[in-house]
Structure 1
Amino acid sequence: MNFDLKETLKVAVRSSLFIVKLIVPLYIVADTLLYFGILNHVAFVFKPLTELIHLPAESAVGIAAGMIFNLYAAIAFLAPLSLTPFQWTVVGLFLGIAHSFLVESAIMKKLGIPVIYSIILRTLTAIVAVKLLMLLPFNLSSRISSKKEVSVKVYKNVFDMLGHSVQHAVILSGKIVLLIVVIIFALNFIKNLPPVKRYSEKVNTMFSILTGLFLGITYGAGVLINEAESGSLTKRDILFIGTFLMICHSVIEDSFLFVIFGASWIPMVAIRVLLAVAISPAVAKVGSKILT
């Protein structure tokens, strides 16, 4: 086994620095928007969506940041809102499916899957996923109406707010960095196990799905692109795998980012897997013309 500890540490450090640079300023921006009441004036744009998925209107900016950019941006805006564990489960489930449209839709486009298809599929599926979550027998006391006002801490002055914000941003970044470092070390170790390396070149549909399922769209699509370019996969195969990965990918890392805040891991993963298994074959059967 050829596990490069030094290289793995470099990757972990780069990822950590990226996260810290992103989380800290966005967290402070979110607290500042709340302090001056600015967030309430812009949240109305996404209010219909937040109401549809049973979240307070103040979470709209965080949801938009996650959908357009990434989960870390979403967390930076949502962390100051004091959401309940059930609400974090809703957020984790919704954004677990519908996030990073700019980057991940571009990756899918490389496979010939149109951007508009990617966005519509992931948004509608994410809404359906939340509706399914609402049917599960959770403790009803954790369900909070989307019309409930989110409590915001009262500060003595703007400097008090900024000090509190920086402190909590650093703590939050530390928790997320620790999780990411552990995941990077674990994944690199697994990828260097002899059995995995021995069969890594024999890539097929299942390997692409499993790679994306645990490592994310970037890894899964990377494998898929190589197979597609080699001509070993049909358009129907590509559509099936691409659809599956857009609904259900990176189930460990993405989900546990929200578990930090009390979200329930099992329903987030179970519902995504269920929808991916149900939707992907149906789309592949009737929708191969979607591919350009």
Structure 2
Amino acid sequence: MSILRESRPTAQATPPPGFLPGLKAGFFQGLRKGARGFLWICRIVVPISFAVALLDWTGWLYALDPVFQPVMGLINLPPQAALPILLAISTSVYAAIGMMVVIPFSSEQVLLLAVFITIAHMLVVEGLIQHKSGINLVKIDAIRLVTAGLTVFAVSQFFPGTEAPVVLPEALGIHATLLDALAGWALSTLRLLLKILIIIMIVMVALETVKALGWNERLAAFFRPFMALLGLSPNVTTMWVAGTFFGLTYGSAVIMEEAASGRFAEDELERLHIALGINHSIVEDPALFLALGVGVFWTVVPRFLAAAVAVQLYRLEGAARSRFGRRASSDSA
């Protein structure tokens, strides 16, 4: 995922000559993109969090409990968790964060939501990118949703009681006036946006500096020996680095250009996209959830392991299908 969805990414430019010029170019480019990205985030977070704050104040938000309880209960989350999940799936991580900052989830529930959302978000936009570069949209979206649910269920075993419904303040004998509710919303949203501003600037400066200095290929060379551990072909390392570190949208130029080159087998691309669909944007997304108090470990390690397991299971399924196919052919002969 990328914060800059409004402009289509372009292929990596030739890095400036020398370290200092590249450092300077990356720094200022990162500031510019960080500022644009932050304004884009504000346009999403502010109106959505405001609408949710009003729903929360009226109590209508909690009227949806019976609808979502059965599904959310399967992965040990409260009914209200369905709302940020649906928002993330259909729009973006930022929209979900705008909702999460208003609903009084526990810290453990926020952590589980972060695990789900970092795996399954922007399924239409990112699914189309992956569809155009090597895997069927319905297939990869289904894999991401199932993997997100299973991963959250596994992580929830470390945090008992996360399925408890969010308590409506009115049930505790507390019902703020509309003015107090809006003041609380404004303060919490301002705090969140300040945290996001700092994080986004740091992340974008770092990413743009890496690009300006031409270190993408160095990263690819470093990770190439580890591709086998992930169940991936070493041929796809450059695309894996682009998607894993920069996100599917931001890294789509590299991914789509490489995939269209004709140098990769269908199986290589499908395994790559399963890994990237589950585990991508490992710099920006974890940094954003830091603003909600979620440790980087929980937004990086579970989905990395989930991606490796999913790819290996896909390989085993393919090998089994091939073996049974050959056996059926020999029997019919």
* Structure-2-length-normalised TM-score: 0.77
Range 238-247 or range 106-115, more displaced: 106-115
Q: 1:19 aligns with which of 36, 41, 54?
A: 41
Q: Which residue of 2 aligns with 1:275?
A: 306
Unaligned runs of 5+ in 2: 1-18, 225-233, 322-333
Q: Which residue of 1 aligns with 2:61?
A: 39
For residue 38 of structure 2, what is the amino acid of its counterpart?
Answer: S
Alpha-carbon deviations, 1:11-55, whole Å to 9, x = none? 111101001111111111111011111212335443333212222
Aligned equivalents of 1:171 and 1:151: distance in 2? 23
Range 108-117 or range 233-242, more displaced: 108-117
Q: Which residue of 2 aligns with 1:68?
A: 90
**Percentage identity across paired residues of the two chains:** 27
Q: 2:169 aligns with which of 143, 146, 152?
A: 152
Match status 1:124 vs 2:137:
no
Match status 1:215 vs 2:237:
no
User: In the alignment, is the contact (CA less than 8 A) between 1:97 and 1:246 conserved in 2?
Assistant: yes
Q: Which residue of 2 aligns with 1:77?
A: 99
Q: Which residue of 2 aligns with 1:88?
A: 110
Q: CA deviation at 1:204?
A: 4.1
Aligned equivalents of 1:111 and 1:196: distance in 2? 20
Match status 1:59 vs 2:81:
yes
Q: 2:191 aligns with which of 149, 171, 187?
A: 171
User: In the alignment, is the contact (CA less than 8 A) between 1:68 and 1:100 conserved in 2?
Assistant: yes
Unaligned runs of 5+ in 1: none
For residue 284 of structure 2, what is the amino acid of its counterpart?
Answer: E
Q: CA deviation at 1:62?
A: 1.3
Indicate how the Cα distance of structure 1 residues 257 and 198 shifts in structure 2: closer, same or farther if over 3 A, else same.
closer
Q: 1:190 aligns with which of 205, 210, 224?
A: 210
For residue 251 of structure 1, what is the amino acid of its counterpart?
Answer: I
User: In the alignment, is the contact (CA less than 8 A) between 1:176 and 1:257 conserved in 2?
Assistant: yes
**How many pairs does the alignment contain?**
284
- Structure of greater Rg: 2
Aligned equivalents of 1:195 and 1:14: distance in 2? 24
Q: Which residue of 2 aligns with 1:250?
A: 281
Q: 2:256 aligns with which of 217, 225, 233?
A: 225
Indicate how the Cα distance of structure 1 residues 239 and 284 shifts in structure 2: closer, same or farther if over 3 A, else same.
farther
Range 80-89 or range 101-110, more displaced: 80-89
Aligned equivalents of 1:170 and 1:68: distance in 2? 25
For residue 31 of structure 2, what is the amino acid of its counterpart?
Answer: L
Aligned equivalents of 1:127 and 1:100: distance in 2? 16
Q: CA deviation at 1:205?
A: 0.8
Alpha-carbon deviations, 1:148-186, whole Å to 9, x = none? 342437454222222221222122112112211110001
Aligned equivalents of 1:6 and 1:145: distance in 2? 43
For residue 147 of structure 1, what is the amino acid of its counterpart?
Answer: A
For residue 169 of structure 2, what is the amino acid of its counterpart?
Answer: V
Range 101-110 or range 52-61, more displaced: 52-61
Q: Which residue of 1 aligns with 2:271?
A: 240
SS state at 2:294 partner: coil
Indicate how the Cα distance of structure 1 residues 286 and 235 shifts in structure 2: closer, same or farther if over 3 A, else same.
farther
Q: CA deviation at 1:256?
A: 2.7
